[in-house]
């Protein structure tokens, strides 16, 4: 059955928005005077306001959870700091890989018995990560990679906690609201430990776009698109995010696409596709 044009366009728009978060964060870190925590704070608060407007402030207050809000805060903070040193595509690739590996790993810990395809896919994805991180001129900075891996794990935990929810947009609004409150409360000690310069207009615009548009509206669009997607198609769509982010890094930041990155991308995304999609088919066959 062909995919309806509306669902296809919504999915493409959502994936572009998710990839744009990486581009905007990297632009803010290298092209403006906005510090990582300032970017994180503005992103979470503006995202919370946008989502509250979409679902209503009352629903935002009543839905969500503080634990999910904490996971969201950890993700957003580590994400911003990591982009002080990581290239756009590399950061998105590490993030995406760790999100998927966290969710697949939780399935294994919970008692899932994967078939050979999933083990092959996991081995490929892990091998791609190892290849990306091997010492060399093209290797990403270890501290930045570790921070982005932490962001990916936090986002994986956030995604696991949100599975099966009946009102995902409202829950996301509530989680963003709680994350914004936590980020605001943490700002004073964070700025005392690591002072940041007053953000310039350019950086403020990047952070607001990342929060209100590519996060707030992006998630609302994605949850609308999901109504017309199977689990397999949703997984395939998300494979495009690191590639779109890398293209954005080339266009907006003149970042090179190295052979190491291209090979790691092929291994990681192919492995995740095999582990996720073939396993999904196996479940349907059973």
Tens of each residue's pLDDT in the chain, 286 residues: 456 788 889 999 999 999 999 999 999 999 999 999 999 999 999 999 999 999 999 999 999 999 999 999 999 999 999 999 999 999 999 998 898 888 878 887 888 776 787 788 888 888 888 888 877 767 899 999 999 999 999 999 998 888 767 789 999 999 999 999 999 999 999 999 999 999 999 999 999 999 999 999 999 999 998 888 776 667 777 878 998 999 999 999 999 988 889 998 898 888 877 876 665 555 555 5
Helices assigned H by DSSP within the chain? 5-31, 36-55, 57-62, 66-82, 88-109, 116-133, 142-162, 168-193, 201-208, 218-226, 231-238, 240-253, 259-273, 279-285
| CA-to-CA separations, 158 to 52, 59, 165, 176, 236, in angstroms, rounded | 19, 19, 12, 11, 20
Q: What is the C-alpha end-to-end distance of the chain, expressed in Å?
A: 22
How much is the pLDDT for 115?
76
111 φψ region: left (φ > 0), alpha (ψ -120 to 50), beta (else)? left
For 272, the 3-state DSSP assignment is helix
Q: How many CB atoms lie within 10 A of CB 216?
A: 26
For 63, the 3-state DSSP assignment is coil
How much is the pLDDT for 1?
44
């Amino acid at each position: 059955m062909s995919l309806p044009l509306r669902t296809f366009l919504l999915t493409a728009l959502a994936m572009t928005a998710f990839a744009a978060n990486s581009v905007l964060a990297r632009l803010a870190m290298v092209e403006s005077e906005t510090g990582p925590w300032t970017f994180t704070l503005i992103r979470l608060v503006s995202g919370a306001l946008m989502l509250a407007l979409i679902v209503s402030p009352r629903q935002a207050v009543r839905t969500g959870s503080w634990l999910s809000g904490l996971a969201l805060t950890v993700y957003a903070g580590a994400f911003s700091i990591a982009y002080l040193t990581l290239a756009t595509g590399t950061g998105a690739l590490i993030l995406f890989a760790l999100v998927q590996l966290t969710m697949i790993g939780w399935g294994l810990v919970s008692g899932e018995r994967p078939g050979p395809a999933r083990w092959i896919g996991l081995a490929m994805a892990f091998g791609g990560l190892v290849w990306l991180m091997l010492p060399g001129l093209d290797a990403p900075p270890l501290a930045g990679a570790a921070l982005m891996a932490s962001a990916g794990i936090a986002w994986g935990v956030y995604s696991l906690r949100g599975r099966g929810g009946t009102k995902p947009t409202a829950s996301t609004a509530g989680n963003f609201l709680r994350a914004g409150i936590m980020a605001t409360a943490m700002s004073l000690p964070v700025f005392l430990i690591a002072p940041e310069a007053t953000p310039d207009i350019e950086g403020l615009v990047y952070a607001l776009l990342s929060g209100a548009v590519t996060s707030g509206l992006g998630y609302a669009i994605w949850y609308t698109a999901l109504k017309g997607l199977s689990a397999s198609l949703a997984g395939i769509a998300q494979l495009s995010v690191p590639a779109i982010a890398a293209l954005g890094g080339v266009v907006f930041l003149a970042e090179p696409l190295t052979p190491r990155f291209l090979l790691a991308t092929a291994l990681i995304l192919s492995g995740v596709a095999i582990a996720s999609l073939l396993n999904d088919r196996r479940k349907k066959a059973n």
